[in-house]
Amino acid sequence: MRAATVRDGEIVVEDHPEPEAGHGEVLIRVRAAALNGADMMQKRGLYPAPPGWPQDIPGLDVAGEVAQLGQDATRFNVGDRVMGFVGGGGQGELLAVHERLLVPVPDALDWPHAGGFSEVFTTAHDALFTQGGLRSGERLLISGAAGGVGTAAIQLGVATGAEVVASVRNEDHHEAIAALGAHTVATPDDAFGHGPFDVVLELVGAPNLPADVKALNTLGRIVVIGISAGAKGELNLGALMGKRGRISASMLRGRSFEDKALAAREVERHVLPLARRGAIAVPIAETYALDDAPAAYERFAAGGKLGKIVLLMGGS
């Protein structure tokens, strides 16, 4: 099979041995796989895949058809459309994945949208509800809302009945972010002034923590899942105590198999119904053929996009 491959800090397309489905696994004929920030870090040698996943083939998002069933794999049939958030290897033509990490692709999603769905909506749902306990009627600030997880979080927050304020630096994106349902879209300098907030989803990093705490409502929760602007900063614990607030931080890729399987079930129960009725969507910036994977990575690195960049495999 062919796959986007990390070689000496660059992306090339190479041939690899075809994987086979093991115990409880299915073999996916991949149709689409989105690029994510973790792939860029893996390309630079900064974010290796967890043990058991391909170390030289990036890709956390995968969508395709079941081509083979491993021993005791019973959830899906050959030919079923599936998608999932995996530990790596998604950007190849074939991938063996345990069936419990996968969910069915709703009819409303074509391959590009399915290929960009799982990482962002799994991450956003886990952060907002499992970690942050967001409830209907609460006020949510999403700091760094123009990225893939941010746009997913906007839609999930609106769907659950929260009032959503989206912080977006690039004003050229404000109209498109508002179209996703955000009640208020503001630049980072202005967004904190729209508080207080019951939940702050922090996708930018530690430099925002003082403003996050200041904008927090009593009993508010800050959930940190992005540190692109920095991992170290000052935190006034007295101010946090005064709000009786809470800060948590989380990532999904390095979690145990059971945790990831539980996160997939949460998506299947609570997020897929929204996708089936068209209440949520995956903004797509551009699609590339697998042969053009190096160009796709260059486009991702250039920034300024709104939506996912997705690799499409042969036959997509």
Beta-carbon contacts of residue 225 (< 8 Å; ≥ 6 apart): 123, 127, 149, 201, 202, 203, 249, 250, 251
Nearest-angstrom CA–CA distance, 235 and 284: 36
**pLDDT at residue 42, rounded to an integer:** 93
Eight-state DSSP code of residue 129: I
Query: What are the DSSP calls for 193-246, one per residue?
Result: GG--EEEEEE-S-GGGHHHHHHTEEEEEEEEE---TT-S-----HHHHHHHT-E
**pLDDT at residue 123, rounded to an integer:** 96
Query: What are the DSSP calls for 37-101, one per residue?
Result: HHHHHHHTTSSPPPTTS-SSS--SEEEEEEEEE-TT--S--TT-EEEEE-SS-TTBSEEEEEGGG
Q: What is the pLDDT along the chain (316 residues), one digit of tens a residue?
A: 999 999 999 999 999 999 999 999 999 999 999 999 999 999 999 889 999 999 999 999 999 999 999 999 999 999 999 999 999 999 999 999 999 999 999 999 999 999 999 999 999 999 999 999 999 999 999 999 999 999 999 999 999 999 999 999 999 999 999 999 999 999 999 999 999 999 999 999 999 999 999 999 999 999 999 998 899 999 999 999 999 999 999 888 888 999 999 999 999 999 999 999 999 999 999 999 999 999 999 999 998 889 999 999 974 4
pTM: predicted TM-score of the whole model, two decimal places:
0.95
CA nearest neighbour of 250 among 202, 305, 299 = 202
**pLDDT at residue 294, rounded to an integer:** 97
**pLDDT at residue 314, rounded to an integer:** 75
Eight-state DSSP code of residue 306: -
Q: Would you kindly state where each structural domain of the chain is located, as residue ranges? A: 2-117+253-312, 121-249
Eight-state DSSP code of residue 173: G
The domain defined by 2-117+253-312 folds into Quinone Oxidoreductase; Chain A, domain 1 (3.90.180)
* CATH classification (class only), 121-249: alpha beta
**pLDDT at residue 268, rounded to an integer:** 97
Strand partners for 12: 5
**pLDDT at residue 316, rounded to an integer:** 44
pLDDT tens, 274-286?
A: 999 999 999 999 9
Specify the 3-state DSSP secondary structure of 303. Answer: coil
Nearest-angstrom CA–CA distance, 275 and 122: 13
Nearest-angstrom CA–CA distance, 24 and 250: 28
- Between CA 28 and CA 310, with CA 31 as vertex, the angle to 5 degrees is 125
**pLDDT at residue 70, rounded to an integer:** 97
Eight-state DSSP code of residue 104: E
Contact in structure between 267 and 276 (CB atoms under 8 Å): no
**pLDDT at residue 304, rounded to an integer:** 86
Instruction: Decide: residue 17, CB within 10 A, 0-12 exposed, 13-18 middle, 19+ buried.
Output: exposed
- 113 phi and psi angles, rounded to 5 deg: -70, -35
CB neighbourhood size of 117 (10 A): 31
> Fold match between 2-117+253-312 and 121-249?
yes
